[in-house]
A and B are shown apart, each in its own frame.
Chain A
Amino acid sequence: MTYSTLLIAVLIALGGAYLLGRNRARTLSSQGIKMHSLATHYGALVALWTTLPPLLILLLWALLEPRVIDLILTAQLPDSIRAGGEAEIRLALSKVYNLANDSDLMGQQGLLGPVAEHLQALQARVTLLRGGVIMSLLLLGGALTWRRIQPDLRARSEVEGIVRILLFASSAIAVLTTLGILASVLFESILFFQKVPVTEFLFGTSWSPQVALRADQSGSSGSFGAVPLFTGTLLISAIAMAIAVPVGLMAAIYLSEYATPRVRQLAKPALEVLAGIPTVVYGFFAALTVAPVIRGLGESMGLEVSSESALAAGLVMGIMIIPFVSSLSDDVINAVPQSLRDGSYGLGATRSETIRQVVIPAALPGIVGAVMLAVSRAIGETMIVAMAAGLAANLTANPLDSVTTVTVQIVTLLVGDQEFDSPKTLAAFALGLVLFVVTLALNYVALKIVQKYREQYD
């Protein structure tokens, strides 16, 4: 039985088990026996014990099955292939799978023919076994729990205990995600740093990850000095911040301190729409509209502008971040108590004096936190730079030049055909590690600052 059939079977069993358990409890109580819990609790208990174990086993099975089959098949591959190393074994295995799954190809008996036939037989057996195991677990769980239904069975507490565990497991997924990200980037990064020294990666100034196809070609090693990527990322983020911070902050100030309710009602949603536009749309806008305009402007002034200038990507990224800065600043500014404003107005200060000399200094920690979150966002932004910034790893501070960023390189290295364990692929994970650590640190500090700031005025 296929996975989807099994899943449907489990779902049906869920309903059936619930009804069975509930009815048994009802029968008992209709005989005048005092039950510990409501009939529905017994139903839920039977349903949980019937379906949870098979679901868990099914999940594990799905994870392990391909691995085990691969192992069995590898053992049967001809020695000539097995001697060829990891890459060749993988290639052969995928050929075997193609052979086994495509009836048209099955006729072409080759070196791998017997293995493919074996795979077909194996798949049939495994599917049968899987179906058998799951079905028997369903029956077993249902029957055992059904028999346990007695007046003194504390069904409610047991159900609640299980539900509590499920609830906890859901919230643990968030932590597992963080660990998962960390593990995935860390593991591959360690492999990478075995091939390329950490110091070269962090401090080297030349980045050309294009590894030659064959080991004997010249320049086969590639070079992995990531400094140009870091500076490129910083350059574009700095341009974005130079736009987003003043504009976002002033817009927030205007909307919260000056604007009439009507203007606020119109302008706020407009800025929110700006925040909801997918980054791929900004990327398209940057690459096809803004970059040519900037290039044209620059050339009319006699400047040499790259068609993938850092300025175009940074500018559009800045626009994208404006609503982010303004909504965070808006929260922060509104948290400044009215009594401080009153104190300033009471002394005869004008609005702008009050804002500049009392409100902003009072809100400064919150604003700093907001800006840090915005920086983290700019550093991690991918689509705008992938579409509008270049691939050339130039070490430059000229915003009219083309630069590349950490995220662009991750995309470039991982999109398309990848060879596992090549430094090129692993480099992407090392960059991912840097990105993750830097943004996580920024977010952590920023959120702490904002939290402290809020407590101050609570």
Chain B
Amino acid sequence: MSIIENHETVGTPFCSNPKLSARDVGVFYGDKQAIFDVSLDIGSNEVIALIGPSGCGKSTFLRSLNRMNDTIDICRVTGEILLDGENIYDPKVDVVPLRATVGMVFQKPNPFPKSIYDNISYGPRIHGLASSRVDLDEIVERSLQRAGLWTEVKDRLHSPGTGLSGGQQQRLCIARTIAVEPEVILMDEPCSALDPIATAKIEELIDELRENYTIAIVTHSMQQAARVSQRTAYFHLGQLIEVNNTDMVFTTPEHQLTEAYITGRFG
């Protein structure tokens, strides 16, 4: 499984209505290159799944889509990533509005050690999205409702968010993200720390959210990718091997590495 020289991504990495477009993206940690020349479009209102074996760079690629990698000192990104046609790595671009537009949900639920209400209202408050207390209450309720958490927590909005169960915490984190009204949501293995029932709820939620948001989800589970996504991108050792409609990837993969992966020969 060595790095393939001068490879071309097979399948259909580009689409007609891209929300985000990556062009020749490379990511370096110090001297070590983690991502090699990835070009990929993420279409509006689609769910795209990023799959691949551990350490293939899918999370790294995801984190470069809203510049979360900036928080790591030694990390460097080359190439360009366009959000609505604008390069997010342009020096003029401020990460704050970028991240407000491209939100992120993490692998481990990470609610702030604050009340449920404060967790949700944190984003709108710092961004000045609500003009009044009533407004803010409304945003909190709407976000929790969309995340399917409202009925479970409406009576204890002011108890700590860390007191919820794992699945509830993750939905709280999703609610927290959509409270800012982003356009794209990045999800980094959002269900890896959850039990099957909680996972099912989150998957259901992702399906509903597709209506309003563009979603990129990194997942370790091929079943999950098959259930929630329309397109699937397969990463291998930092390279994007194949992008295709999810059905195609799982039934008739074009590339032999993709086939090897989905048939379980490595992973």
Contacts and interface: CB of A to CB of B under 8 A. Distances in A.
Asked if A and B touch directly (CB within 8 angstroms), the answer is yes
Interface of A: 261, 337, 339-350, 353, 357-358, 361-362
B180 A340 contact: no
A348 B96 contact: yes
19 contacts: A339-B108, A340-B110, A340-B112, A343-B110, A345-B68, A346-B66, A346-B99, A346-B103, A346-B177, A347-B126, A348-B100, A348-B101, A348-B103, A349-B96, A349-B123, A357-B122, A357-B126, A358-B122, A361-B112
Given A353-B126, A358-B112, A347 B176 contact: yes
B173 interface: yes
Given A340-B112, A341-B71, A357-B126, A347 B106 contact: no
Contacts of B95: 348
Contact of B113 (A345, A349, A362): A362
Nearest to B125: A357
A347 B95 CA distance: 10
Interface string B112-155: 11100000001100110000000000000000000000000000
Contacts of B66: 346
Given A358-B112, A361-B114, A347 B71 contact: no
A345 B71 contact: yes
B112 A362 contact: yes
B215 to A, nearest CB: 14
Given A339-B106, A357-B122, A357-B126, A346 B68 contact: yes
A344 B122 CA distance: 9
B205 interface: no
Interface string B154-187: 0000000000000000000100110010000000
B50 interface: no
B198 interface: no
A345 B72 CA distance: 12
Nearest to A457: B113
Given A342-B71, A342-B106, A357-B126, A350 B113 contact: no
Nearest to A364: B113
Contacts of B114: 361
Among B100, B113, B177, residue most surrounded by chain A Cβ atoms (within 10 Å): B113
**Chain A residues touching B, majority SS:** helix
A344 B73 CA distance: 18
B100 A347 contact: yes
B80 to A, nearest CB: 21
A308 to B, nearest CB: 45
Contacts of A347: 99-100, 103, 122-123, 126, 176-177, 180
B262 interface: no
A255 to B, nearest CB: 14
Contacts of A261: 73
Contacts of B99: 345-348
Contacts of A358: 112, 122
Nearest to B179: A347
Contacts of A346: 66, 68, 99, 103-106, 177
Interface of B: 66, 68, 71, 73, 95-101, 103-106, 108, 110-114, 122-123, 126-127, 173, 176-177, 180
B27 to A, nearest CB: 17
Given A345-B99, A346-B66, A347-B100, A361 B180 contact: no
Contacts of A340: 110, 112-113
B71 A343 contact: no
A343 B96 contact: no
Contacts of B177: 346-347
Interface-central residue, B73, B112, B173, by most chain A CB under 10 Å:
B112
A353 B122 CA distance: 10
A232 to B, nearest CB: 39
Interface SS of chain B: helix, strand, loop or mixed?
Answer: helix
Contacts of A349: 96, 122-123, 126
Given A347-B99, A347-B177, A362-B113, A342 B68 contact: yes
A344 B177 CA distance: 10
A126 to B, nearest CB: 69
A213 B26 CA distance: 87
A428 to B, nearest CB: 46
Contacts of A339: 106, 108, 110
Contacts of B123: 347-349
A347 B127 CA distance: 9
Contacts of B110: 337, 339-340, 342-343
A342 to B, nearest CB: 6
A357 B114 CA distance: 10
Shortest Cβ-Cβ A-B pairs, 9 listed: A348-B100, A346-B104, A348-B99, A339-B110, A347-B123, A343-B110, A362-B113, A353-B126, A348-B96
Nearest to A339: B110
A347 to B, nearest CB: 4
A332 to B, nearest CB: 14
A357 B96 CA distance: 16
A340 B111 CA distance: 7
Nearest to B100: A348
Contacts of A353: 126
Q: Which of A339, A340, A341, A345 is the most central at the interface, judged by chain B CB atoms within 10 Å of its CB?
A: A345
Contacts of B112: 340, 343-344, 358, 361-362
Nearest to B113: A362
A240 B95 CA distance: 39
Contacts of B100: 347-348
Contacts of A343: 106, 110-112, 173, 176
Contacts of A341: 71
Contacts of B127: 348
A266 B177 CA distance: 39
Contacts of B111: 343
Contacts of A361: 112-114
A337 B107 CA distance: 14
A404 to B, nearest CB: 43
A359 to B, nearest CB: 10
Given A346-B99, A349-B122, 17 more contacts: A261-B73, A340-B113, A342-B104, A342-B110, A343-B111, A346-B106, A347-B100, A347-B103, A347-B122, A347-B126, A347-B176, A347-B180, A348-B101, A348-B123, A350-B96, A358-B112, A358-B122
Contacts of A357: 122, 126
A353 B99 CA distance: 14
Nearest to A343: B110
A361 B101 CA distance: 26
B248 to A, nearest CB: 32
